[in-house]
Amino acid sequence: MSSNSHWIEPHPHGIFVKPAKAWIDPMRPVENALVTHGHADHARGGHENVWATPETLAIMNLRYGIDLGNPVPFGSGIEMGGVKISYHSAGHVLGSAQILMEYQGEKVVATGDYKRRHDPTCAPFEVLQCDIFITEATFGLPVFRHPPTSEEIAKLLEVKKGNPDRCVLVGAYALGKAQRVIGEFREAGYNDPIYLHGALEKMCNLYSELGVQLGDIRPVLETPKEDMRGQIVLAPPSALNDRWSRRLPDPVTAMASGWMRVRQRARQRNVELPIIMSDHADWDELTQTIAEVAPSETWVTHGREDALVRWCGLNQMKAKALSMIGREEEDD
């Protein structure tokens, strides 16, 4: 693949930083991995050396039991093979980072995944000036505009109020989304217990250990069915329509995800109450970010690259799509 920057090579299974002999978010085991955040489509096990934020390393440790790794806190830098590398907040999930690299006077930023709006469970996105901006495009279509989060939380609370005999079951991914949903409830002034599917407990506990306050959270397992009426329950999406949900009193099935913006997607999931809430930038945030960063070139990766490249073209900005594999499976 041709590029201005001879020292950064996009490959289907990761981005290679040549002089540093290191890969960004590699999908296969490598010697040196620079990992942006803990989701499985970015952080894999099996690398010899990992550089990531302390929070990301803690998450990887919990998921893969890897107790190795070189912590790089936000703002601090390292140098590898003449490349100055630093990690900066991406606002996606706890510990998620953009990686800024500088080599021979040229600056490149790889965003990993990011969002621009407020999230009570992680630090906000930082705008970094650079020459080449490698952006994600999970929601890179102009139909994706996430509504204000407070409206979506209010919708959930209203349904909960209107159904005192049922419980509201919210599908949310285990890393990031689940904790954010809890955090958003707390910010909205909801302080009652929130019940958790077993698969969410460990990650919520880790967030608490890392200083993110989630309030009164309890396992579903120990709670009698009758006591769950009128309560809020969180579960991974795969459990929404599974046998597990039979233990709940007539749940209203909700799902918190950016895909819920498209009705047919929500219906396919058997969702009664779609909650449009994403940890990825929506179309407006993506285009706003490219405009603010104002790089001389934008590279678009995992997601719907074509539309964002088209938008750059319409706005006289240079852009190209990278085809990378295996992304956007887990963390919408």
Partner 1 sequence: MLVFSELLDRLIYTRSRNGKLTLIVQYLQLAPDPDRGWVLAALSGELEFPTVKISAVRKMVAERVDEQLYKLSRDFVGDTAETVALIWPEQDIASDTKPPTVDEVVSILMATSRAKAPSILAELMDRLDSNGRFALLKFATGAMRIGVSARLAKTAFAKAFDMEVEDVEEVWHALKPPYRELFDWAEGKSDKPDLSGIPFFRPFMLAHPLEERTVDLKDYAAEWKWDGIRIQLSHANGETRLYSRGGDDITAAFPEVATGFDRDGVVDGELLVRGEFQGGEAASFNALQQRLGRKKVSAKMMAEYPAFVRLYDILFEQEIDLREQSWMDRRNSLETFVPKLNDQFFDISTLLEAKDFDDLAQIRKGARSAAIEGVMLKRKDSPYIAGRKTGLWYKWKRDPLVADCVMMYAQRGSGKRSSFYSDYTFGCWTDDGELYPVGKAYSGFTDEELKMLDRFVRQNTIDRFGPVREVEKTLVFEVAFDSIHESKRHKSGLAMRFPRISRIRTDKPAEEADHVATLKAMVT
Please report how close the Cβ of residue 55 comes to partner 1 at its closest, in angstroms: 33
Query: Which one of 73-81, 86-94, 226-234, 303-311 is the stretch in contact with partner 1 (CB under 8 A)?
Result: 303-311
Is residue 271 close enough to count as binding partner 1 by CB under 8 A? yes
What is the 3-class SS of the chain, one letter each residue?
CCCCCCCEEEECCEEEECCCCEEECCCCCCCEEECCCCCCCCCCCCCCEEEECHHHHHHHHHHHCCCCCEECCCCCEEEECCEEEEEEECCCCCCCEEEEEEECCEEEEECCCCCCCCCCCCCCCCCCCCCEEEEEECCCCCCCCCCCHHHHHHHHHHHHHHCCCCCEEEECCCCCHHHHHHHHHHHCCCCCCEEECHHHHHHHHHHHHCCCCCCCEEEHHHCCHHHHCCCEEEECHHHCCCHHHHHCCCCEEEEECHHHHCHHHHHHCCCCEEECCCCCCCHHHHHHHHHHHCCCEEEEEEECHHHHHHHHHHCCCCEEECCCCCCCCCCC
Is residue 170 close enough to count as binding partner 1 by CB under 8 A? no
State which of residues 77, 219, 267, 292 lies at the interface with partner 1 (CB under 8 A).
267
Is residue 242 close enough to count as binding partner 1 by CB under 8 A? yes
Query: Which one of 28-36, 80-88, 290-298, 308-316 is the stretch in contact with partner 1 (CB under 8 A)?
Result: 308-316
State which of residues 186, 310, 318, 320 lies at the interface with partner 1 (CB under 8 A).
310
Please report how close the Cβ of residue 250 comes to partner 1 at its closest, in angstroms: 9
Is residue 280 close enough to count as binding partner 1 by CB under 8 A? no
Is residue 158 close enough to count as binding partner 1 by CB under 8 A? no
Query: Which one of 202-210, 217-225, 299-307, 318-326 is the stretch in contact with partner 1 (CB under 8 A)?
Result: 299-307
Is residue 272 close enough to count as binding partner 1 by CB under 8 A? yes
Please report how close the Cβ of residue 125 comes to partner 1 at its closest, in angstroms: 23
Closest CA to 239 of 197, 275, 204, 279: 197
Please report how close the Cβ of residue 120 comes to partner 1 at its closest, in angstroms: 26
State which of residues 62, 123, 128, 262 lies at the interface with partner 1 (CB under 8 A).
262
State which of residues 224, 226, 243, 316 lies at the interface with partner 1 (CB under 8 A).
243
Cβ distance 26 to 50 under 8 Å?
no
State which of residues 67, 211, 224, 264 lies at the interface with partner 1 (CB under 8 A).
264
**CB-wise, 99 or 271, nearer to partner 1?**
271
Is residue 273 close enough to count as binding partner 1 by CB under 8 A? yes
Query: Which residues of the chain form contacts with partner 1 (CB under 8 A)?
Result: 141-145, 241-243, 245-246, 261-264, 266-267, 270-274, 304, 306-307, 310-311, 314
